[in-house]
Structure 1
């Protein structure tokens, strides 16, 4: 999985043919809740046929397709078809509204769209806005869309496919601080991250035919796309959750003897809130690796998970852009609590506002050198903002290095609160409030203050059975003041029924801030150049 300039990933053709020949009736992947499954022989044949269908419709190497589906049985079949004939594929969140979907479909230049009737909007904007594309409907019937199963039957099952560069994902940023942007890589080097270097530290990323991987997130996210494809590439079997449920996840580990799994911190919190009896009801002894990423994990949450599951947690910090990646195992984390690890390739640099290197312990913008280059599709200005004069790249996060070179995340640069000239990073305050027994979820944001410019406010979603009150608000403020310096503590607390998060657990701060600031003030802060 680590970047290696000399590494060559096994080709999609070779992987599927090898796996189908070795175990034709073996399960390539299964959907947990529905019980549906796809064998290696079926995946090999159907993805080949789908690739032939797209070629017959005129798509050629380097073209793009868009996939706007629920967690569907045929989802990964479409991705493998794109890999086989050198196509880019963009997976679109099924929760987006029609204008958001159309923005991504148009921006990525998709020539084909796969969707279903239940995702079409009532006023027909998606049907009208995608006219001219090759469109396929996998469930139901949509005017102007071809029935996918019927279309597959128009090409022979044993069709020969041309020798092309391998296709790859064309993922979009989650848009937590603005419009999503596509990250596009040259096909010749795009799949190098599927190759694991022989590094003892990276053993948790090594998959084989004995791997059983539990995928807990929606299929369209970058991590499920890349990790499931990598597991299947190596001959492992995937167990895909159509929707996350803490008890169902534990039951799946026991039933399918899951060896590897992937999580986000909010899932850990839901697991930890199960009763002791619910936790002990399932045999988890097969689980060797529990990977987590996507959002910072509070120290108390990770410590509790290691206490429960043992030292099998592996954390990585990266982004869709893949300009750099750090990671660490449980033993390293226990020696460096709160860290997100050391670089897997290249180096990490912490720079101040003036671009100068900062010493250990001093927070600044996190920059990576030595990683693969990328560009934001159609946005050279935004691409330039991600790089500095040295050619180093950033995700726009704030952090620091300790004396041993381990990286710690402080917050997103765009989330920074400036109060009276003092920089405040709200993540630390959120972690403290999250430990209070009444708090289910929390966002800490800066709100207008006439004297200081901004002040700290906590927006709290309470746990079931808790009622908002002035007394509870003051209790939460006092809870913070007992554990943090006053400048980091909220001066006020608002209560809300729910907080906006993506399904990977990322908090949409811009949505929270919007209630307190004029629209113009909610524009995200760009990382310094």
Structure 2
């Protein structure tokens, strides 16, 4: 830093006080995240940013024998990850891959997923995780939309691609198989055996695309969020600090690797900690066996998975003696659920609010201290997602884009170094969400006087009933307090009197088979205003349709409510509650 300031002082003497001071500020402010080059007296300062591939090399060299990944019976050190990703990168280059080429992967959780990602980091390839649960039309969309040139495929995914093999050939996508017998164009093990030990490293900038992360598809066709090398590097370094991870942690992240949360599974690039990953897919029956056997110190679960954990723990209590931290996020968690988790497991907890468009490292965090304060004397904090991380700016704005007064609800706008550059091939949708460096999140929230953020709901899920804005998440939080409710989804449907009416679809807890809709509606009457109180309750014994990151597909639930014969009690004469 002293060298840079010295150079800026030279500029200051040549260019005048104000201009020199401005350049000094620009250099300092962009030290981590930009690609500024300053040429003084013919001496270039060079790139200033830290790239993810730098972290791969440094972590591998500095922690050569430290375990990076545990996957079933397999282990890989950080030194192994650096060396293997070098060989995969060199093998790709031997097949003609160049910086900017899209290199996809379709695989269950396995160590090769991260070797592949690190190889992409090194040679400037753009990584795309292909969701194994996509329908054929969605697969074709991703292949075409991304401009994919290479696709790594785990042998277990062969049948998934059976009906799109002709599309892969038509698009000239080279398929590379691994993890068992296959009939793809090339074999990863053979490629590595023939490759050089290290790739040629092309020049890269922080602003270059590193990954296209396709949204989980709660509505419409998946959109590819373009995330850069600089955004991912910033995510790694800031997330480590906010989560409080240390070198000796063993972090278990059970969610799928096709979406943006995969970034959390290589946070160890910033501190050398160990990641424990599923051997295949998240398995509710064995998850806590892995926690015990591998000495996991921290894990992340979606609220739905925490509900499952509570149900399973009632039958056979888990051994969580190694665990110090439970992290939850991805979708809203009710205060009632948080209390039950804390009372049952007695561990520190962190809630994280994040989006695909912010590289998912975390925008806001409700810390362990916040949880303790909420559980002892300030219960309203459990409805909050915490305070904004220091690398973000936040603004709560109305429909016209003007900031609202403190405490008032509005759309959450964010600005920071981890935000996507655009939606791939979607200029109109990009323009709709990116304004002057700000990201419009489509989330409705409010900030209290202490800077805590309260999420009310997604703007697109808001129900307008009797002219009143109703946020489904707020209704779900009330109903979740009832001891008979195991899971819930609130949607809005057309109503002849109210315009839209609130309908709740409920899965009962075991032992509450006699719980009625009238009981739940009565339970809400003194806790919600009339427009927000459900007009009808439907019961289901099935889990709700969900995305791969366990968000409820509300549009599908609403469609089921609308199309189920006799599911709604009104007939044009108003409600019957």
Matching residue within 417, 426, 432 for 1:379: 426
| Structure 1 residue 414, shift from structure 2 partner | 0.7
Query: Which residues in structure 2 correspond to 1:7-18 (within 5 Å)?
Result: 7=32, 11=51, 14-18=54-58
CA distance in 1, matches of 2:525, 2:338: 23
Change (3 A) 1:243 1:18: same
Taking a change above 3 Å as real, the CA distance of residues 7 and 363 of structure 1, as seen in their structure-2 partners, is same
Helix, strand or coil for the counterpart of 1:368? strand
Residues 455/29 of structure 1: CA separation in 2 closer, same or farther (3 Å cut): same
Q: TM-score, normalised by structure 2?
A: 0.79
- Give unpaired runs (5+ residues) of structure 2: 1-28, 34-48, 564-577
Q: CA deviation at 1:25?
A: 4.5
> 1:120·1:127 contact (CA, 8 Å) conserved in 2?
no
**Aligned pair 1:6/2:31, yes or no?**
yes
Structure 2 vs 1, CA of residues 171 and 160 (structure 1 numbering), >3 Å: closer, same or farther? closer
How far, CA to CA, are the matches of 2:543 and 2:296 in structure 1?
Answer: 32
Aligned to 2:336: 300
Q: Secondary structure at the match of 2:356?
A: coil
Distance of aligned partners of 1:165 and 1:343 in 2 relative to their CA distance in 1, 3 Å threshold = same
In the alignment, which residue of structure 2 is the partner of 1:526?
Answer: none
Aligned counterpart, 1:491: 535
85-94 or 356-365, larger mean C-alpha shift: 356-365
In terms of Rg, which structure is larger?
2
8 A contact 1:434–1:441 mirrored in 2: yes
Alignment: residue pair count: 502
Task: Verify the 8 A CA contact 1:66 1:113 in the aligned structure 2.
Answer: yes
Output the aligned Cα RMSD. 2.9
- The TM-score, its normalising length taken from structure 1, stands at 0.86
Larger fraction in helix: 2
Residue 232 of structure 1 contacts residue 238 of structure 1 at CA under 8 Å; is this kept in 2?
Answer: no
Structure 1 residue 23: Cα displacement: 5.1
Cα deviation, 1:66-124, whole Å, max 9, x if unaligned, reads 11112234211111111111111011221112221121122111110011344345793
Tell me, yes or no, if the aligned pair for 1:29 and 1:37 is still in contact at 8 Å. yes
Cα distance in 1, alignment partners of residues 290 and 50 from structure 2? 29
Give the Å deviation of 1:445.
0.6
1:253 paired residue number? 291
Deviations 1:4-45 (A, max 9, x none): 8422675555544444445544422012xx322223343233
CA positional deviation for 1:162: 2.4
Aligned residue runs from structure 1 range 250-399, under 5 A: 250-275=288-313, 278-279=316-317, 281-284=318-321, 286-310=322-346, 312-322=348-358, 325-333=363-371, 334=374, 335=378, 336-344=381-389, 345-370=391-416, 372=419, 374-388=421-435, 391-399=437-445
| Equivalent residue in structure 2 for 1:183, among 225, 229, 238 | 225
1:105 correspondence with 2:136: no
User: Does structure 2 retain, via aligned residues, the 8 Å contact 1:461–1:499?
Assistant: no
Q: Which residue of 2 is the match for residue 221 of structure 1?
A: 259
Residue deviations 1:470-521 (CA, integer Å, cap 9, x gap): x722222222224322221211122232311224221111111223559xxx
- Residue 511 in structure 1 maps to residue 556 in structure 2: yes
Partner-residue secondary structure (3-state), 1:209: coil
Tell me, in whole angstroms, the C-alpha distance in 2 between the residues paired with 1:498 and 1:373: 33
Instruction: Tell me the equivalent position of 1:46.
Output: 84
SS at match of 1:171: strand
Rate the CA distance shift 1:265–1:102 in 2: closer, same or farther, 3 A. same
Q: 1:123 to 1:382 in 2, by over 3 A?
A: closer
Distance 1:140-1:102 versus aligned 2 partners, 3 A rule: farther
